[in-house]
Chain A
Amino acid sequence: MKRAVSHARAAWEVARWEFLRYFKPKQQLIGLVITMFFMVVGGLVGKLTSEPSTVELAVVGAERIELPSELGRFRFERHDEASLERLRAEVAERNREAVLVVGSDGAGTLFVRQLPSWRADLERELTAVAVSRRLETSGLAIEQLLAIQAPFTLEVHESAPRAGLGERAAAMAALFLTLFGLMAGMGYIFTSVTGEKQNRLSEQVISAIPPQSWIDGKIVGLAGVALAGMLNLALAVGIVLTVARIGWGAELPFAIAVQRVDLLLLAGVGIVLGFLFWFAFLAAVAAVVDDPQHSSRNQLLFLPMLTLVAAYLAVRDPTATWIRVLSIAPPTSGAVFPVRVLATEVPWWEVVITLGLLVGAIRFVRRVAGRIFRLGMLLYGKEPTWGEIWRWLWESA
C-alpha cells in the first residue's frame, strides 16, 4: 500500500497538484476565444481606419505639366476649369477625396477637407514630373537627361547584417509570449506560496515531504501552467493569422521562423529554462513574505522584468557584444537567448555554453530557494530580515 516516497515522486505529486489547481481548461478556452475575437476586431478596425493604398484625385489643368493618368499610388481624373466649383463642392460633401488644380505657372493647389497624410508623397511625385518637363524643355538630349537623373549607386557589404523583418518579428513574438508567461507564472507562484502560508498549509506539507521536493514540484507545476497559457495565446494568434493569410492573403512577417522548427524548439528550451530559473527565485522570495499586500519584498518581482528589457534590446541589435554576454550569462540568458536565437545566427558553442550555464544556475537557485523555503514557510506573523535569511543559508549550507 505504501511506497517509498522518492524526491522525484514527491515533486511530481506536487507538480501535478499545482498544475491541476491552477490550469483551468474552461478559462483557457475562454481566453483563446477572447484573444481571437480581439485580434479580429483589431484587424478590422485597422483595416477600416487605414489609408487606402490608391488615391484618386480630380485634376484641373493637368495638361500644363503633362500629368500622366497614373503616378505611383495616385490616379488622376482630368477635368476642365468649368467643373472646378462642382468638384470642390463634392469634396466638401465627402463625395470626392481631393481636387488638384495646376495653375498656368505650373504651381499646384490642392483642395481637401483636411490635410491628407499622402501630401508629401504627392509633392514628391509631382516634383519628379515637373523636373522632367523642365529638363525636356531645356533642350538636353535624352541620354544627357538620363545621366543627370541617374541616382548615385551605393553597394553595401554587411559583415554582421542586422536581423531582417521576419526574424525581428519572430523574436518580438517570442519576447511577447515570454512576457505573458512570466507575468502569469509570477502571479501563480506568489499566490500559491503565500496562499499556503496564509492558509497555514505549509507545516502539514513539510511534515510529509522535504521542502526541496515541495519547491521543485511547485516550480515545475506552475511553469507548466504558465507554458500552457503561453501556448494557448500562441495558438490563438496563430489561428487568426493563418486564417488572415489564407483568406485575405495577409503577409506574415515571422513566417520565416515558422519554417525553422529547430530554432523554434531551441528558443522554446531557452524560455522554459528561463521560467524555471525565475520561478525558483520567486518561490524563495514568496516564502519569506508574510503579507503579500504590504511586503517590501514585492519589489523583487521587478527583477525578472529587467531581463525582458535586455531581451527587447536584443531584438533591435542581436549581434552587439554586450547583448551576446547577456545572452550567455544567467540570469538574463533566459529571456535574451530565445530572442537572439530567432533574430540571428547563434554559434553552436554559444548555445551549449548558454544552456549549460542556465541549467547550472537553476540547480543553484532551487537549492538556495529550498533552504529559504524550509525555514521561511514555518515563520508566521513576521518577515525575516535579510540578515536572518543569510544566516539560514549559511547555517544550512
Chain B
Amino acid sequence: MTTSPPPILEMQEIEKHFGPVRAVDGVSVTVRRGEIVALLGPNGAGKTTLLRIALGMIRPDRGWVAYGLGGGLSDRPDARRIGYLPEERGLYQDVPVARYLAYFGALRGMRRSDARREAARWLERLDLADRARERLRNLSKGNQQKVQFISTVVHRPELAILDEPFSGLDPLNQDLFLSLIRELRDAGTTVILSAHHMQLVERLADRVVLIRKGRVADSGTVEELRRRWGAGRRLVVRLGGGGAGDGGSGAVASPGDGRAQEGTAGDVAYAGAVAFLESLAGVRSARATAAGEIEIDVEPDASLSGLLEAIGSRLEVHDLRSETVTLHDIYVRTMTGVEPETEGVVA
C-alpha cells in the first residue's frame, strides 16, 4: 500500500465575488507535497483569483484554505515558504540585478548575505553571473524574465505559485523554464502553475485542474483525463475516392477534393460513413473533419483488430493512423461544453 504525500495546500468550497461577478464558485483543490499542478482555463475563468486566495492576498467570501508548510498545519500562508510569480510582473528597472534579488530574498525572510549568495548561485546557473551589477533596464527581455523567475525562488520556497510562467517566452526559454520548474520540483518544491501552453503543461504537470466559469470542470493526471475524455485512443481515417459500395446503407466515402463540404453529395456520403462507424461496437463517437478525414474515438477496451476488420469490410480506407487525444483537445472540449462537466471535489 502506498501512502500519498501530505497536502501542502488545501482549498475547500472557495467562493469569491467581485460585485455581481462570481469569480470563483465553490472550488475545492488539494495540492500534495512534491506535485506540479496546473490550473487550466480560459481568461476570466478565475485562476488568478484562486491563486491570489491561495497566497492570502484576497480573502474568500466562503470556504477555507489550509497550509501544510514547514511541517505544520496553518490557516495562514507563511510568505517565507512561498514563492509567487504573478501574471502581471515587472522589475525595478533602475536597480542592479544582484541588489534586486537580495531585496526579494530579504522580504521573504532571508538574511541579506544568504540572499546575495543564493542569488549569485542562480545567476550563475542561468548564465547571468556577469550581469549581476548591471541595472535591470539594460537586460534583454528574456534575461529580465529569468531574473523575475529567480526572484520567485531565490528563498527556496516549499511552494511556488507561478501564474503564466511561459507567457512572452521564446521557445528556447520555454524549454529552459520547463527544465527549471522540474528542477524545482526535484529539489522538493511543490509547484502550482497556471498556463495557456497546453503542450508544455502536458509535458510538465503531474496533475491538471480544468477551471471553467469559476468552477472545477475536471481534474486528474493527463492520462486520467485522456482516458476520461478521449477514451485513450483515436483513429483517423481518410476514405478512398471510389468509396466502398454498400448498397444496403448507402454509406459511400466520397472525399472529392479532400474536404467535406456542407450540402454536397460527398457530405451526405460522409454522414453515412460517420453513422456507420458510430454504429460499430467499441466506437464511442465519430465525426468528419474539415480536412476531409473522419476521427473515431475508440473505447479503451475495444478490440482494435475487430474494429479495423469491420471498417474495412464496408469502407474503402485510403489512409489510417492512430492518434493520442491531446490536452489541447480535452481543454477545448471541456471549455466549450462538448462533454458533460465534472464538478466538485478534486483529490
Contact = CB atoms under 8 A, between A and B. Distances in A.
B110 A2 contact: yes
B107 A208 contact: yes
Q: Name, among A196, A203, A207, the residue most crowded by chain B CB atoms within 10 Å (CB to CB).
A: A207
A13 B106 contact: yes
B103 A4 contact: no
A3 B111 contact: yes
A204 B84 contact: yes
A201 B111 contact: no
B104 interface: yes
Contacts of A17: 103
A376 B91 CA distance: 19
A207 B57 contact: yes
Nearest to B118: A1
Nearest to B115: A1
A2 B107 contact: no
B268 interface: no
A208 B57 contact: no
A45 interface: no
Interface residues of A, number: 24
Contacts of A196: 90
A14 B107 CA distance: 8
A200 B90 contact: yes
Interface stretch (B92-100, B170-178, B179-187, B333-341): B92-100
A19 B213 CA distance: 44
A41 to B, nearest CB: 33
Contact of A21 (B92, B106, B151): B92
A380 B88 contact: yes
Interface string A133-160: 0000000000000000000000000000
Given A1-B114, A2-B80, A2-B155, A199 B107 contact: no
A218 B52 CA distance: 23
A17 B92 CA distance: 11
Given A21-B92, A201-B90, A203-B89, A5 B80 contact: yes
Interface in A2-50: 2-5, 10, 13-14, 17, 21
B84 A200 contact: no
Contacts of B110: 1-3
Contact of A5 (B84, B91, B92, B107): B107
Contacts of B57: 203, 206-207, 378
Interface of B: 52, 55, 57-58, 79-82, 84-86, 88-95, 103-104, 106-111, 114, 151-152, 155-156
20 contacts: A1-B156, A2-B81, A2-B108, A2-B110, A2-B155, A3-B80, A3-B110, A3-B111, A13-B106, A198-B90, A199-B93, A201-B89, A203-B86, A204-B104, A204-B152, A207-B79, A207-B86, A208-B79, A208-B104, A208-B107
